[in-house]
């Protein structure tokens, strides 16, 4: 039972990460290598703001933290928007092959990595004074979960639902969905393609930043997390189907659940360190049967 709850907690966060990636992918056909780095940057911005407000200005921790997460979202939004405007748009316009954006994406990942290293160093950072957002552990029968995890999972859920509603009902969301479906048609219908592409990239980055901020409150953050996070996000997007919002959410929850279940069951038979190998192997078998992922359009 605890495994399942843990899986839901992991899944909510993973889904949020995958959402940002799939949004960027759907809109621009760009594989954002720097997604994990954006996640880490979000965590560090949250850390910086929380630390300053809590220790320097003596804000209550919860308020300092939420301001930190909002700051992370805003900073990442600006970063994402600038990246799109300055780098990706130019290259997409000039390059002969679509894949060339991959080099650019890898370049931006390196750039963010170096910026994070220069600004924040290599140390692991956690909540100031080692405090928790909410102390205590929720227990119900055999289930034991720390309250802060529940809170983080809850916020992630609200974010996911909010994001879906926003994409479904708002003017911006409609424009973005139109863009993801058919760029030319959207342009003909009077959608400002350039603006909404930029906005989409900014949103995707902001989502990564928010998860970084949320996760920071539970497990802390360090500069080495970028690549593994990107890889996990890729796995989820593969599972669910690239560029599809529902797919990203499903992929996130499936991966969270798989990780939680396998990590607690496999050690029982002495194979705990093979968890990720088994996940990958099953991913390959799955892709052999269904190459476009669960919800994806064929060939994305």
Tell me if 131 contacts another protein by CB under 8 A. Answer: no
Q: What is the spatial distance between Cα 253 and Cα 160, in angstroms, rounded to a whole number? A: 12
Tell me if 300 contacts another protein by CB under 8 A. Answer: yes
x-or-dash pattern for another protein, window 228-267, by CB under 8 A? x--x--xx-xx---x-------------------------
Q: What is the spatial distance between Cα 42 and Cα 116, in angstroms, rounded to a whole number? A: 10
Minimum distance of another protein from residue 200's CB (angstroms) = 16
Structure-block tokens of residue 286: 């799955």
Minimum distance of another protein from residue 130's CB (angstroms) = 28
Where do we find the tokens 């030319």?
Answer: 184
* Residue from 3, 52, 87, 145 in contact with another protein (CB under 8 A): 87
How many residues of this chain bind another protein (CB under 8 A)? 51
Residue 158 or 271: the one with the smaller Cβ distance to another protein is 271
Helix axes 2-28, 171-181, angle to 10 degrees: 70
* Residue from 57, 184, 188, 288 in contact with another protein (CB under 8 A): 288
Tell me if 299 contacts another protein by CB under 8 A. Answer: yes
Stretch that binds another protein, among 103-111, 132-140, 144-152, 178-186 (CB under 8 A): 103-111
Q: What is the CA radius of gyration of the chain?
A: 19
* Residue from 49, 104, 175, 258 in contact with another protein (CB under 8 A): 104
Minimum distance of another protein from residue 95's CB (angstroms) = 4
Contact 108/83 with Cβ under 8 angstroms?
A: yes
Residue 190 or 298: the one with the smaller Cβ distance to another protein is 298
Tell me if 274 contacts another protein by CB under 8 A. Answer: yes
* Residue from 2, 29, 48, 150 in contact with another protein (CB under 8 A): 29
* Residue from 103, 137, 144, 185 in contact with another protein (CB under 8 A): 103
Contact 156/13 with Cβ under 8 angstroms?
A: yes
Q: Kindly provide the b/e burial profile for residues 55-94, where b requires at least 16 CB atoms within 10 angstroms of the residue's own CB.
A: eeeebebeebbbbbbbbbbebbbebbbebbbebbbebbee
Q: Hey, which residues between 33 and 62 contact another protein (CB under 8 A)?
A: 33
Q: Hey, which residues between 202 and 231 contact another protein (CB under 8 A)?
A: 227-228, 231
Minimum distance of another protein from residue 166's CB (angstroms) = 25
Q: Which residues bind another protein (CB under 8 A)?
A: 25, 29, 31, 33, 87, 90-91, 94-100, 102-104, 106-108, 110-111, 113-115, 117-118, 227-228, 231, 234-235, 237-238, 242, 270-271, 273-274, 276-277, 280, 283-285, 287-288, 291-292, 299-300
């Amino acid at each position: 039972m605890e495994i399942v709850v843990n899986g839901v907690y992991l899944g909510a966060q993973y889904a949020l990460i995958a959402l940002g990636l799939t949004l960027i992918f759907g809109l621009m056909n760009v594989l954002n290598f720097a997604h994990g780095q954006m996640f880490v940057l979000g965590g560090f911005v949250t850390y910086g703001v929380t630390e300053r407000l809590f220790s320097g200005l003596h804000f209550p921790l919860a308020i300092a933290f939420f301001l930190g997460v909002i700051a992370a979202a805003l900073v990442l939004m600006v970063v994402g928007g600038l990246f799109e405007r300055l780098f990706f748009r130019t290259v997409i316009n000039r390059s002969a092959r679509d894949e060339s954006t991959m080099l650019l994406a890898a370049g931006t990942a390196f750039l963010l990595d170096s910026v994070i290293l220069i600004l924040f160093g290599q140390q692991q950072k956690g909540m100031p004074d080692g405090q928790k957002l909410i102390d205590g552990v929720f227990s119900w029968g055999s289930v034991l979960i720390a309250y802060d995890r529940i809170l983080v999972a809850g916020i992630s859920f609200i974010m996911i639902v909010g994001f879906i509603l926003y994409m479904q009902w708002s003017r911006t969301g409609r424009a973005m969905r139109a863009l993801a479906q058919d760029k030319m048609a959207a342009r003909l219908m009077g959608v400002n393609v350039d603006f909404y592409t930029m906005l989409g990239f900014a949103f995707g980055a902001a989502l990564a930043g928010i998860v970084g901020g949320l996760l920071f409150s539970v497990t802390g953050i360090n500069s080495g997390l970028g690549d593994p996070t990107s890889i996990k996000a890729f796995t989820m997007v593969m599972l669910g189907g690239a560029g599809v919002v529902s797919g990203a959410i499903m992929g996130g929850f499936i991966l969270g659940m798989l990780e939680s279940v396998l990590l607690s069951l496999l050690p029982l038979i002495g194979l705990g360190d093979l968890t990720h190998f088994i996940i990958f192997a099953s991913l390959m078998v799955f892709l052999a049967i269904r190459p476009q992922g669960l919800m994806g359009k064929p060939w994305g």
